[in-house]
Chains A and B, each alone.
Chain A
Amino acid sequence: MVQAQRKMQTQVGTAEQGDTEAQLSIRNLSKIFKTGDGVTDISLDVQPGEMVTLLGPSGCGKTTVLRSIGGFLEPDSGDILIRGRSVLNLPPEKRPTAMVFQSYNLWPHMTVQDNLAFGLKIRKRKKVEIERSVTEALELVQLSGAARKYPGELSGGQQQRVALARALLLQPDVLLLDEPFSALDAKLRMEMREELREIQTKTGMTMVFVTHDQEEALSISDRIVVMHAGKIEQLSTPQDIYDRPGSLFVASFIGRINLMRSISDGQHIAVGSKVVQQDGSTSIPAGACTLAVRPEDLYLTGEPDSLEGTIRQVMVLGHYAEVSIHCEQEHLKMFVPREQAAELHSGQAVKVGFHKFTAFSEVSS
């Protein structure tokens, strides 16, 4: 927790120094609804060409932040700058942003062509130019030939592609995506993710992506902002967030993780009677703490002083197997290669070690 806060402060610190380069800069944004939900003191800098994901459970305020950027919500306080210019007083139509909505929001009474050309006509582009851009945009989202169709004649995935193309055509300084793929089925969602990432590389567009799907966030983002109860819990790269979760919330929200009750004396951490961190390097204050270990960071060992447990179940899930171990009154999940799983059976006594783990003090929180 302490570590995470320090990290956040340095992030915010660098942001304040480098405002000239940030494409989008949110400063101390607060918005509280009548219901008491909302966000407080959100600060975030997005660099040009970066894809930043706001991730969190529903109701954590991620959509509030996005809608504030797009101009659909008026924040109570704070500022939003795009390329160094405050956009707070601009209505949505004047902001250099474009949004892709969860529910596609194509206009059913217009053809795909007209849907795409709508924004360009308002910008008074030449007819030939509009025609060309629309064709290019449809090519980019792999929907050439759908121009004359009506949205109702397209599948969900195709409609979302059109919606994406419509937003891209506006050439926004920042593209906002509000859970764009959550209405699609799992397979299509994966495809769209890849496609979006490809489009982002091709166009170099700055994107802010909102999702509650941690897998989606991990797979497509340059940086992830984990939000919880209206506040930023952690802001870092996907790798870092997965390997070094800044708080217990982040640890349990992202990826699968085993949580174990443990105790710290300020230097060492122990689970039950076994000391798991002996080098005295821990920064966790003395008292109760929670140990978080990813299933892939557990291993079976023969070392004498390690944790002892009993295998409860072995489940083969394709190329790997999931092993449940009962250990110190906790149920641990562990991933092992399939070959190794063949030698394991339920009821077997084993010893487990940790490749790495993160400890969170329960004293400070």
Chain B
Amino acid sequence: MNWYFRSLGARRIVEFVLLVVFVIFFLGPLLNLLILAVSGKWQYPAALPQSWSLEWWQFVLSQDDVLESISLSFLIATVVTVCSIIVCIPAAYAFARIAFPLSRWFLFSFLLTHAFPKMGLYVSIAVLFYKFGLMNTFLGIVLIHMVNTLMFMTWIPSSAFRSVHRAQEESARDAGAGPLRVFWKITLPMAFPGIMVASIFTFLSSLDEAQGTLLVGIPDFKTMPIIMYSIIADYPNTTGAVFSVILTLPTVILLVAARRFVSADVLAGGFQVK
């Protein structure tokens, strides 16, 4: 056995140990969560639950407001994504293709909403929302979610548009296509992966948003994360675990479905200020 480790070299062994620590650090809590979600009784110091059960799933799924919150969350996330696409894609195209003064500063300013403490920002937005009667409305929630998604939805597609060579559009013009057709048939499909990634991020971040929703949406709009706060506070750990799994599921499904598009390149490209 010794000869084996010696042949590997210290460097390799350190790397391996680091990798294991890393995996445990990331996947450990997730595994714990999954086990907790299907356990009946699990008391310290046992490594595995004493009994397995799905009773908390039954409990969570039988609560009306839980089911309602799930459908509300998905509805909001869908509307937010669609609205963000409508607002941001043209903006992204403009940033990528049209040279206007201070364009870089405008693009940079999208980062500002992420620079302040969220709650402070939301409170000042809430003051405005009161004036316009947007508190406790669906529109108000959609708007507050969009504050967060503007940056992804503009930066990533903008870089995607920029990576479509002008000459590729030119050759389509040359082949007889007008500007509008060039955009639909050439530019947009070629930028599609970037737009897809940004949309998924938008959808997920909307699904996960709690602070703004809590402030603007109370008392009538209870989304999944909001319900989760109260469930974690009022019921045993297991409910929280079950709920987390429910919250994580769409993320995992979406990312797996779109893994063809999600790559480090697309993301890195999106966050370069050119």
**Contact status of A101 and B173, CB under 8 A, knowing A107-B190, A109-B189, A122-B181:** no
Question: Is residue A62 within 8 Å, beta carbon to beta carbon, of the partner chain?
Answer: no
Question: Is residue B273 within 8 Å, beta carbon to beta carbon, of the partner chain?
Answer: no
A112 to B181: give the CA distance in the assembly, Å: 19
Within 8 A of A (CB), among B86-132: none
Question: Is residue B45 within 8 Å, beta carbon to beta carbon, of the partner chain?
Answer: no
Residues 152-173 of chain B: 1 if any A CB is under 8 Å from the residue's CB, otherwise 0?
0000000000000101101111
Contacts of A166 in B (CB 8 A): 171, 175
Q: Is B176 a contact partner of A123 (Cβ separation < 8 A)?
A: yes
Residues 126-162 of chain A: 1 if any B CB is under 8 Å from the residue's CB, otherwise 0?
0000000000000000000000000000000000000
Question: Is residue B177 within 8 Å, beta carbon to beta carbon, of the partner chain?
Answer: yes
Stretch of A1-9, A91-99, A207-215, A355-363 with 4 or more beta carbons under 8 angstroms from chain B: A91-99
Q: Is A122 a contact partner of B190 (Cβ separation < 8 A)?
A: no
Contacts of A101 in B (CB 8 A): 167, 170-171
Q: Is B186 a contact partner of A107 (Cβ separation < 8 A)?
A: yes
Q: Is A170 a contact partner of B175 (Cβ separation < 8 A)?
A: yes
Cβ-neighbour of A122 out of B165, B168, B171, B176 (below 8 A): B176
Question: Is residue B12 within 8 Å, beta carbon to beta carbon, of the partner chain?
Answer: no
Contacts of B185 in A (CB 8 A): 118
Within 8 A of A (CB), among B184-214: 185-186, 189-190, 192
Contacts of A167 in B (CB 8 A): 174
Question: Is residue A320 within 8 Å, beta carbon to beta carbon, of the partner chain?
Answer: no
Within 8 A of A (CB), among B15-61: none
A279 to B190: give the CA distance in the assembly, Å: 69
Q: Is B190 a contact partner of A93 (Cβ separation < 8 A)?
A: no
Cβ-neighbour of B175 out of A72, A103, A109, A119 (below 8 A): A119
B162 to chain A, nearest CB (A): 16
Dominant secondary structure at the B interface = helix
Within 8 A of B (CB), among A75-129: 91-94, 97-99, 101, 103, 105, 107-109, 118-119, 122-123
Please give the residue numbers on chain A whose beta carbons come within 8 Å of chain B beta carbons, in ascending order.
70-72, 91-94, 97-99, 101, 103, 105, 107-109, 118-119, 122-123, 163, 166-167, 170
A318 to chain B, nearest CB (A): 39
Question: Is residue B219 within 8 Å, beta carbon to beta carbon, of the partner chain?
Answer: no
A70 to B173: give the CA distance in the assembly, Å: 10
Question: Is residue B236 within 8 Å, beta carbon to beta carbon, of the partner chain?
Answer: no
The size bracket of the interface on B is: 10 to 19
A71 to B185: give the CA distance in the assembly, Å: 20
Q: List 10 A-B contacts (CB under 8 A).
A: A72-B170, A92-B173, A93-B173, A97-B174, A99-B171, A105-B168, A105-B171, A107-B189, A118-B185, A122-B181
Q: Is B172 a contact partner of A107 (Cβ separation < 8 A)?
A: yes
Contacts of A123 in B (CB 8 A): 176
Given A92-B170, A163-B171, A166-B171; 10 other pairs, CB 8 A cutoff: A91-B173, A91-B178, A93-B173, A93-B174, A93-B176, A105-B165, A107-B189, A109-B192, A118-B172, A166-B175
B271 to chain A, nearest CB (A): 23
Contacts of A108 in B (CB 8 A): 190
Q: Is B165 a contact partner of A170 (Cβ separation < 8 A)?
A: no
Contacts of B176 in A (CB 8 A): 93-94, 119, 122-123, 170
Q: Is A98 a contact partner of B175 (Cβ separation < 8 A)?
A: yes
Cβ-neighbour of A109 out of B170, B177, B181, B190 (below 8 A): B190
Q: Give B173's nearest chain A residue, CB to CB.
A: A92
Residue with the greatest number of chain A CB neighbours at <10 A, chosen from B173, B174, B189: B174
Q: Give A97's nearest chain B residue, CB to CB.
A: B174
A107 to B170: give the CA distance in the assembly, Å: 11
A166 to B168: give the CA distance in the assembly, Å: 13
Q: Is B175 a contact partner of A118 (Cβ separation < 8 A)?
A: yes
A70 to B178: give the CA distance in the assembly, Å: 14
Contacts of A105 in B (CB 8 A): 165, 167-168, 170-171
Contacts of A71 in B (CB 8 A): 173
Contacts of A92 in B (CB 8 A): 170, 173-174
Contacts of A94 in B (CB 8 A): 176
Cβ-neighbour of B168 out of A93, A99, A107 (below 8 A): A107
Q: Give B186's nearest chain A residue, CB to CB.
A: A107
**Contact status of A122 and B174, CB under 8 A, knowing A103-B165, A103-B167, A107-B190:** no
A288 to B178: give the CA distance in the assembly, Å: 58
Contacts of A99 in B (CB 8 A): 170-171, 174
B49 to chain A, nearest CB (A): 50
Contacts of B186 in A (CB 8 A): 107
A72 to B186: give the CA distance in the assembly, Å: 17
Q: Give A107's nearest chain B residue, CB to CB.
A: B186
Contacts of A107 in B (CB 8 A): 168, 172, 186, 189-190
Contacts of A163 in B (CB 8 A): 171
A335 to B102: give the CA distance in the assembly, Å: 61
Contacts of B192 in A (CB 8 A): 109
**Contact status of A122 and B175, CB under 8 A, knowing A92-B170, A105-B168, A107-B168:** yes
A118 to B178: give the CA distance in the assembly, Å: 12
Q: Give B185's nearest chain A residue, CB to CB.
A: A118
Q: Give B169's nearest chain A residue, CB to CB.
A: A105
A115 to B223: give the CA distance in the assembly, Å: 46
Q: Give B175's nearest chain A residue, CB to CB.
A: A119
Contacts of A170 in B (CB 8 A): 174-176
B28 to chain A, nearest CB (A): 40
